[in-house]
């Protein structure tokens, strides 16, 4: 039994795989850039404007909480957050880099209990 010499490599399957991956990347790249499909909305005379509040909560490294720039204890912040609409309002959370993780968990626990969907954590570039 004689073996043939292996001189050539078959690259056709490799090219097929690369082309399939290229099609997938090109098909999804437009949605990643736009984040949504652009739609021209119709107009109505009874349009109501939605007022969204952007609530700023900050925590220092010592664990001092601030709500809209005003220092207050966590219990009072919880009362104020419970009065907000979790579907409409945006919560921006600013944490000190060296603060304890427990402070972050306390705020997130309150927000998740109420069911907030729009939470952003502010960082610097």
Where do we find the tokens 């039994």? Answer: 1
In the chain, the percentage of residues whose pLDDT exceeds 70 is 81
Within 10 angstroms of residue 21's Cβ, the number of other Cβ atoms is 10
Residue 67 has pLDDT above 60, yes or no: yes
pLDDT digits (tens, 9 = 90+) for 87-124: 888 888 888 888 888 988 999 999 998 888 888 888 87
Residue 50 has pLDDT above 70, yes or no: no
Q: Are 109 and 103 in contact (CB under 8 A)?
A: no
How much is the pLDDT for 12? Answer: 86
**Alpha-carbon distance 15 to 98, whole Å?**
50
Q: Give the residue extent of every domain in the chain.
A: 54-122
Mean pLDDT of 61-88: 88
Q: Are 117 and 85 in contact (CB under 8 A)?
A: no
Of residues 47 and 60, the one with the higher pLDDT is 60
Where do we find the tokens 């959370």? Answer: 93
CATH assignment of 54-122?
3.30.420
119 CB-near residues (< 8 Å, 6+ apart): 90, 91, 93, 108, 111
> Token digits for 73?
């204890």
Task: Using DSSP, state whether 88 is helix, strand or coil.
Answer: coil
Where do we find the tokens 């107009």? Answer: 43
What pTM value is reported for the model?
Answer: 0.56
Instruction: Assign 15 a pLDDT band (cuts: 50, 70, 90).
Output: very high
């Amino acid at each position: 039994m004689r073996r043939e010499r292996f001189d050539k490599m078959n690259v056709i399957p490799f090219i097929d795989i690369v082309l399939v991956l290229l099609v997938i990347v090109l098909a999804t790249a437009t949605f990643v850039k736009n984040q949504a499909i652009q739609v021209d909305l119709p107009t109505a005379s009874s349009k109501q404007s939605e007022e969204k509040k952007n609530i700023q909560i900050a925590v220092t490294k010592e664990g001092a909480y601030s709500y809209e720039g005003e220092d207050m204890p966590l219990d009072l912040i919880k009362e104020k957050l419970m009065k907000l609409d979790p579907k409409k309002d945006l919560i921006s959370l600013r944490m000190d880099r060296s603060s304890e993780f427990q402070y972050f968990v306390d705020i997130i626990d309150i927000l998740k209990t109420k069911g907030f969907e729009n939470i952003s954590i502010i960082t610097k570039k």
